[in-house]
């Protein structure tokens, strides 16, 4: 057997074994395969043009031939509509991402589309749910409030249907925005999103006993102003509840005992009906706009209720199928290879900020400025990123950690997240500088 054939057979057996151990382990090892095979790894990129059909690699990195068995393992073969749903990667090059966003959609003969706005209080789990629906983590997630600082867009494309997710910042009051000196986008973006929405998903964290007993005044005001837009209620983090009977009370309160124009019965409150769709009165035709009662705690015009954990793939799959079923005939807005409207630099900055929020105390992470110094391709085809974290106080230098351990851990964790988004090897270097 020739040396190259023997090496290929060994690699294929290794990949098969790793895949059985889990896709994450296999994917991490696969990023090193090109150098083992004797050719330079190239980051997945999107090429715009008349014959554009998705991610391509430079021809120099395809010595095994197009659609080879190894390419199939690496996920480099050409798209096939008969294959299961595949989550696209994000280009590491900003210009390629920009071109893809404006490229003519490759929609089928009978396209369907749905624009979905996710509304909820800060830290309700909107970004976690968005990531699970998309099948890839592109939005930052942390336990601290205001992780999402501005509107971000995600795209799900399956067969003839495209669902556009608008992940909005948590709704806050103008007083809170001024008091905490928060960006104006936190106040304005959710309202702007509603203007083009086909469906509103209202997310409530049922594990938070301080906020779960009523919809926030900001959410209710938004639903009232855009009462013509159909809405559904998603009760998130139900796995954290020890007493499931609480869900009955919460459901009655948050819906005012009415769903789809019908009064809820006790048995109905714990049942989600994802396969049925009955328009609420607000969705059936033009009605006088409701006037919100200052004492109102819930919204009586939800079409449907879902009780789930955003961390559960099975729970989220049920919601995803419901969203796909609600899509209406209409042209796609994006090419099927678009996963998010964010630039690669924005994704990177957001992922770093996520870790800063996770590891740093109190107000420290909110006062860290980020500056990208290097964004380039390394000698072996890897993406090399160098970013400076600028702090204004000596006390904020705790970000470095003893012997630089904390900053190194953050860089390592963010690098792994970025590898899963860009599907290429990433070397991230972080440094901290005190502003004088």
DSSP characters for 316-349? Answer: HHHHHHHHHHH-EE---SS-TT--BSS-HHHHHH
Distance CA 223, CA 290 (A): 10
Is 133 within 8 Å of 319 (Cβ atoms)? yes
- Provide the token pair at 3: 């040396």
Question: pLDDT-derived band of residue 33, with 50, 70 and 90 as boundaries?
Answer: very low
Q: Which own/partner pairs from 155-158 qualify as long-range (CB within 8 Å, at least 24 positions apart)?
A: 155/334, 155/338, 155/339, 155/340, 155/341, 156/320, 156/323, 156/324, 157/332, 157/334, 157/336, 157/338, 158/85, 158/324
Residue 83 pLDDT greater than 70, yes or no: no
Instruction: Kindly report which listed range (88-92, 175-179, 244-248, 397-401) carries the lowest average pLDDT score.
Output: 175-179
Q: Which CATH architecture has domain 94-263+296-329?
A: 3-Layer(aba) Sandwich (3.40)
The candidate with the shortest Cα–Cα distance to 47, out of 105, 107, 108, 103, is 103
Is 323 within 8 Å of 115 (Cβ atoms)? no
Residue 231 pLDDT greater than 70, yes or no: yes
Output the CA angle 166-167-172, nearest 5 degrees.
120
Domain boundaries, the chain: 94-263+296-329, 344-434
Which pLDDT does position 251 carry in this prediction?
93
Distance CA 77, CA 324 (A): 26
Q: 32 versus 115: which is more confidently predicted? A: 115
The most confident of the ranges 57-71, 121-135, 143-157 is 121-135
3-state helix vs strand vs coil in the chain, percent to 5 = 40, 20, 45
Question: pLDDT-derived band of residue 93, with 50, 70 and 90 as boundaries?
Answer: very high
Residue 430 pLDDT greater than 60, yes or no: yes
Residue 244 pLDDT greater than 90, yes or no: no
| SS3 label, residue 99 | helix
Distance CA 286, CA 298 (A): 22
What is the mean pLDDT of the segment spanning 139-150? 66
Fold type of domain 344-434: GMP Synthetase; Chain A, domain 3 (3.30.300)
What is the mean pLDDT of the segment spanning 27-39? 43
- Provide the token pair at 382: 């890897």
Question: pLDDT-derived band of residue 340, with 50, 70 and 90 as boundaries?
Answer: very high
The candidate with the shortest Cα–Cα distance to 121, out of 142, 146, 87, is 146
**Run of H or E including 155:** strand 152-158
Which pLDDT does position 23 carry in this prediction?
53
What is the mean pLDDT of the segment spanning 298-323? 94
The most confident of the ranges 38-47, 293-302, 312-321, 358-367 is 312-321
Q: How many residues does the chain have?
A: 436
Q: What radius of gyration do the chain's Cα atoms show? A: 24
The DSSP 8-state label assigned to residue 264 in this structure reads P
Distance CA 156, CA 334 (A): 10
Question: pLDDT-derived band of residue 279, with 50, 70 and 90 as boundaries?
Answer: very low
pLDDT in tens, 153-173: 899 999 999 999 987 664 444
> What dihedral do alpha carbons 316, 209, 291, 192 form, nearest 10°?
-50
Is 113 within 8 Å of 327 (Cβ atoms)? yes
Which pLDDT does position 124 carry in this prediction?
84
Q: What is the phi-psi region of residue 105: left when phi exceeds 0, alpha when psi lies from -120 to 50, beta otherwise?
A: beta
- The average confidence (pLDDT) of the chain is 75
Residue 345 pLDDT greater than 70, yes or no: yes
Q: 134 versus 40: which is more confidently predicted? A: 134
The Cα-based distances of 276 to 8, 157, 236, 304, 311 in angstroms read 50, 22, 21, 9, 24
């Amino acid at each position: 057997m020739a040396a190259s054939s023997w090496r290929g057979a060994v690699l294929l057996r290794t990949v098969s074994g790793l895949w059985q151990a889990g896709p994450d382990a296999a994917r991490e090892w696969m990023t090193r395969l090109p150098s083992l095979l004797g050719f330079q790894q190239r980051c997945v990129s999107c090429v715009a043009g008349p014959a554009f059909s998705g991610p391509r690699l430079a021809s120099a990195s395809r010595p095994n031939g197009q659609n080879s068995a190894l390419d199939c393992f690496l996920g480099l073969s050409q798209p096939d509509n008969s294959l299961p749903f595949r989550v696209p990667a994000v280009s590491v090059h900003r210009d390629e991402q920009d071109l893809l966003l404006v490229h003519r959609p490759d929609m089928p003969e009978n396209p369907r589309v749905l624009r979905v706005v996710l509304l909820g209080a800060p830290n309700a789990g909107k970004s976690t749910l968005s990531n699970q629906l998309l099948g890839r983590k592109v939005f930052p997630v942390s336990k601290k409030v205001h992780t999402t600082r501005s509107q971000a867009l995600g795209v799900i494309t399956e067969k003839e249907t495209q669902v556009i997710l608008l992940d909005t910042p948590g709704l806050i009051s103008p007083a809170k925005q001024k008091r905490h000196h928060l960006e104006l986008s936190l106040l304005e973006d959710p309202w702007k999103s509603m203007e083009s929405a086909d469906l509103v998903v209202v997310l409530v964290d049922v594990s938070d006993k301080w906020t779960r007993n009523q919809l926030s005044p900001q959410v209710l005001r938004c639903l009232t102003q855009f009462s013509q837009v159909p809405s559904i209620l998603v009760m998130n983090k139900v796995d954290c509840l020890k007493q499931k009977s609480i869900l009955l009370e919460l459901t009655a309160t948050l819906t005012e005992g009415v769903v789809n124009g019908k009064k809820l019965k006790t048995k109905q409150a714990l049942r989600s009906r994802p396969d049925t769709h009955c328009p609420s009165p607000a969705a059936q035709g033009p009605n006088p706009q409701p006037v919100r009662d200052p004492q109102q705690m819930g919204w009586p015009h939800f079409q449907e209720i879902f009780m789930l954990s955003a961390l559960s793939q099975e729970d989220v799959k049920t919601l995803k199928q419901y969203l796909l079923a609600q899509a209406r005939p209409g042209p796609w807005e994006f090419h099927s290879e678009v996963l998010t409207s964010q630039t690669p630099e924005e994704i990177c900055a957001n992922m770093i900020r996520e870790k800063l929020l996770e590891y740093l105390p109190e107000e420290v992470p909110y006062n860290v400025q980020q500056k990208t110094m290097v964004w380039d391709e390394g000698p072996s085809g890897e993406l090399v990123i160098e970013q400076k974290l600028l702090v204004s106080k000596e006390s904020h230098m705790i970000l470095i950690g003893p012997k630089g351990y904390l900053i190194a851990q953050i860089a390592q964790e963010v690098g792994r997240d970025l590898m899963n988004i860009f599907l290429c090897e990433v070397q991230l270097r972080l440094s901290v500088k005190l502003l004088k």
